[in-house]
Structure formats: C-alpha cells, structure tokens
C-alpha cells in the first residue's frame, strides 16, 4: 500500500531524572507495568534538540494492556536533566497534560488519594460531560484521569493507558492544519471559549481559554490499533496571557512531557505529506533502527509552536524474549490488526515486584 496509516498514539515521552523510579511509579499508580523495551543506546539523531551533541540515555516504553497508549520514560545518563524554570501553566506551548482512561472514576480517585499522591482537583465534569480529576506525577507533570467506556481488556485494573493529551498552542486555527488534517482528528467534540470551572486548582486555571477537543470519526485500523483504541487531543489557547514555550532554553529529554508519538505505517508517504503541507521532518532515523529489543523507523516534526510530534513505523516488537518470540510487523498486512494472543502474551513481561512494594 502507498498511503500512510496512523494506528494511534503509541506513547507520550516523559523526561525524568530516574527511569527506574519513574517506571515503578507509572506501574504501581497507573498500571503501566509492561516494559515493551528498555533501551540504553546513545541518543544520536536528536542531537539538534540536545545542545548539538549525542547523549547517553535510558528509555523504557511502559504499557498498560487494559488498553490505551504508553509512556516513553526517558532519562539522561551523562547530564542532570533540567527542570522548568517556573511552574508550567495551563496554555503554555507544548504538552500540558496526558489523559488516562478510567473505568471507575470514583475508585481511581480514592485509590490514588489513598496512595498519598498529589491530587490537584476533586472529581469534576468536563465540557463534554465526562468526569475526570487531575493529579501530578513526581516530576511535576499534570495527568488527567478521565472516565472511558472503550477498553481492550479487563485484567482488574481501574485505569488503562493514555488516550490523549492537551496541547497548548498560540493559534488554534493554524494548529488544525496538523492535528486535524494530517493526524486525522477530524471530529470536533466541543469548541468553547470561557473561564472553565474544571480548570480550578490548576496553574493558570482561572484564565480565559479557547478549548477545542478533537477526536477521529472513524476507528483506526490495523497494527496495534485495537490496543491503542480511539484517542482525543485538546488544543488549548490562552486568551488573556502570553504563554511560554515549555521547553524554551532546555533540551529535549529534560524534565517534562517531551513529545507526542504516533504509531504509523508507510513513513515515506507521511514524510512527503508533511513536507507538502508545511510540516517538514526535522529528524529522520535510518530505515531500520534498534530501540533496545524493538526495531523501527522513526522521525520528528514540529507543530506550529515547536512542540515535537514523533512518528514510529514499528518493525519488530519483542513478545517473549527468552524463546525469541517477536512480532514482525513488516511481514503482516498493514490493514489487519495484530492477533489478540500476541498482545496478551506481552503480559508475561509484567513487572509485579518493586523495591518499595
């Protein structure tokens, strides 16, 4: 096939100062206890966003197999990652917040509250009439737990993986050329301008915003689309303050949400489409690039405000490493979903015991 396919959000990158501790937190709090890969290769191709030089790093892709996307937990090994100079405000330019599925919002709220994590709000109702609450991870990142009725599996967890995020932009109309047109978020759930009650308790939450929540009319097909599930993106434009760039004067990989990543097929077609529509690729890996035990072809573009969007054409996923069972996506019909048994087999990689538990 020649056209590009977007299977869904694969992961959101999270810059941390201790990948091991971060994986434990996301596993025990948010159920993302399957390390798809654990990669210690030198980060070379992202040098333009890392001060012009390669750096040693560790990256863990953590997934929750209830359904949804993962976290690429990313740590510099040869420098101390830099925190934002000041608290990130709602509407600042970049990824503001990751959305995590909940099948029982009251149970999720009480469980996380009992764990003494930093809960920022009570359970609130959003403009789409879904209920949610906000919390903060140990690195100052804002996370939204939001009720969902779309799941891949039920293994007894009250939360699933990521199914979207909010992105601060300077101009929503300009941003739609990427997020709606290229990425396929072609359905507007709401488009509202106000001072929003559900932002109470968040930094800069009392400002006036335009918020546009986008999803896709048609379900994604093929690959790991059934695991990732449908997703949504919220574009947030602050109307009464000048937003800051979240990663201004910092490196990609420093503390915070570093990128939004999509799992795709046919990288060549996507590269051409992005070029034609004014979003050229800034970084492109070799056609076959090892990411720990996984393998793929990846690259990055920037949105209108410099937020990094990654695309990964996954070639190989390790399923059961000791017996050499890998999922080779190059040999599969790109329109056919991966068999359920292969995804369920990844449960064997779950980490159940941690130092502090």
Give the DSSP per-residue string, 272-289.
HHHHHTT---SEE--SSE
Q: How confident is the model at residue 353 (pLDDT cuts 50, 70, 90)?
A: confident
Does 290 have pLDDT greater than 80?
no
Per-residue model confidence as pLDDT tens digits over 136-161: 999 999 999 999 999 999 999 999 99
Unique residue bearing structure tokens 């953590």: 62
CA–CA dist 347, 227 (Å, integer): 13
DSSP at 67 = S
**23 vs 293, more confident:** 23
Residue 150 is assigned to a structural domain of this protein: yes
Strand locations in the chain (E): 5-16, 34-39, 57-63, 70-76, 94-102, 118-119, 124-125, 131-136, 142-147, 159-168, 187-194, 209-215, 232-238, 256-265, 283-284, 289-291, 294-302, 308-320, 325-328
CA–CA dist 70, 22 (Å, integer): 13
Residue 356 is assigned to a structural domain of this protein: no
| Residue 293: per-residue pLDDT | 56
Give the CATH number, domain containing residue 55: 3.10.180.10
Mean pLDDT of 164-186: 98
Does 342 have pLDDT greater than 90?
no
Asked whether 157 and 97 are in contact (CB, 8 A), the reply is: no
Coil, helix or strand at residue 30? helix
Does 350 have pLDDT greater than 60?
yes
Facing residues of 13 across strands?
Answer: 72, 259
Coil, helix or strand at residue 348? helix
* Average pLDDT value over all residues in the chain: 93
- Sequence-distant (6+) residues with CB within 8 A of 153 are 65, 66, 67, 344
Q: How confident is the model at residue 314 (pLDDT cuts 50, 70, 90)?
A: confident
Determine whether 234 is exposed, middle or buried from the number of CB atoms within 10 Å of its CB (0-12, 13-18, 19+): buried
| Residue 4: per-residue pLDDT | 93
Residue 44 is assigned to a structural domain of this protein: yes
Distances (CA, A) of 86 to 106, 114, 242, 244, 247: 32, 28, 14, 10, 11
Residue 128 is assigned to a structural domain of this protein: yes
Facing residues of 209 across strands?
Answer: 194, 238
Does 1 have pLDDT greater than 60?
no
| Residue 295: per-residue pLDDT | 64
Per-residue model confidence as pLDDT tens digits over 180-214: 999 999 999 999 999 999 999 999 999 999 999 99
CA–CA dist 319, 33 (Å, integer): 14
Distances (CA, A) of 238 to 169, 207, 208, 343: 8, 7, 6, 40
Return the minimum-mean-pLDDT range out of 11-25, 34-48, 336-350.
336-350
CA–CA dist 41, 208 (Å, integer): 44
The whole domain housing 240 covers: 5-349
Asked whether 260 and 70 are in contact (CB, 8 A), the reply is: no
Q: How confident is the model at residue 286 (pLDDT cuts 50, 70, 90)?
A: confident
| Residue 92: per-residue pLDDT | 98
Asked whether 39 and 291 are in contact (CB, 8 A), the reply is: yes
Asked whether 160 and 101 are in contact (CB, 8 A), the reply is: yes
Overall number of domains in the chain = 1
Unique residue bearing structure tokens 């359970």: 123
Q: If we measure between CA atoms, which residue out of 60, 63, 25, 50 comes closest to residue 247?
A: 50
Number of other residues whose CB lies within 10 A of the CB of residue 28: 16
Asked whether 73 and 62 are in contact (CB, 8 A), the reply is: yes
Straight-line distance from the first to the last Cα atom of the chain, in angstroms, rounded to the nearest whole number: 48
Residue 332 is assigned to a structural domain of this protein: yes
| Residue 356: per-residue pLDDT | 57
Per-residue model confidence as pLDDT tens digits over 4-18: 999 999 999 999 999
| Residue 18: per-residue pLDDT | 97
Residue 354 is assigned to a structural domain of this protein: no
Q: How confident is the model at residue 315 (pLDDT cuts 50, 70, 90)?
A: confident
Coil, helix or strand at residue 111? helix
Residue 355 is assigned to a structural domain of this protein: no
| Residue 54: per-residue pLDDT | 97
Residue 357 is assigned to a structural domain of this protein: no
CA–CA dist 329, 349 (Å, integer): 19
């Amino acid at each position: 096939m020649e056209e590009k396919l977007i299977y869904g959000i694969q992961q959101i990158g999270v810059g941390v100062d201790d990948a091991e501790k971060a994986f434990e937190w996301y596993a025990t709090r948010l159920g993302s206890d399957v390390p798809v890969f654990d990669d210690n290769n030198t980060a070379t191709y992202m040098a333009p966003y890392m001060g012009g030089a390669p750096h040693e790093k560790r990256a863990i892709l953590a997934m929750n197999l209830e359904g949804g996307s993962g976290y690429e937990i990313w740590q510099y090994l040869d420098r101390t990652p830099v925190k934002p100079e000041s608290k990130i405000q709602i509407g600042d330019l970049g990824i503001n917040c990751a959305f995590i599925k909940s099948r029982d919002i009251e149970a999720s709220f009480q469980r996380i509250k009992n764990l003494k994590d930093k809960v920022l709000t009570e359970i609130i109702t959003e403009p789409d009439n879904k209920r949610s609450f906000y919390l903060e991870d140990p690195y100052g990142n804002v996370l939204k737990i939001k009720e969902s009725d779309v799941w891949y599996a039920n293994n007894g967890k009250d939360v699933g993986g990521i199914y979207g995020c909010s992105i601060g932009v300077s101009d929503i109309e300009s941003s739609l050329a990427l997020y709606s047109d290229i990425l396929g978020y072609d359905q507007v759930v709401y488009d509202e301008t106000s001072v929003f009650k559900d932002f109470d308790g968040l930094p800069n939450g009392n400002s006036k915003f335009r918020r546009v929540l986008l999803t896709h009319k048609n379900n994604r097909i093929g690959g790991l689309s059934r695991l990732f599930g449908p997703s949504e993106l919220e574009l947030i434009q602050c109307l009464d303050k000048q937003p800051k760039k979240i990663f201004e004067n910092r490196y990609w990989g420093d503390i915070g949400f570093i990128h939004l990543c999509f799992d795709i097929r046919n990288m060549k077609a996507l590269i051409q489409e992005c070029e034609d529509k004014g979003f050229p690729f800034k970084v492109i890996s070799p056609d076959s690039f090892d990411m720990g035990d996984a393998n793929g072809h990846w690259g990055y573009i920037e949105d209108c405000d410099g937020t990094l969007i990654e695309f990964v054409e996954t070639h190989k996923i390790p399923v059961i490493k000791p017996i050499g069972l890998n999922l080779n996506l190059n040999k599969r019909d790109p329109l056919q979903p991966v068999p359920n048994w292969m995804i369920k087999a990844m449960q064997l990689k779950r980490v159940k015991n941690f130092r502090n538990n």
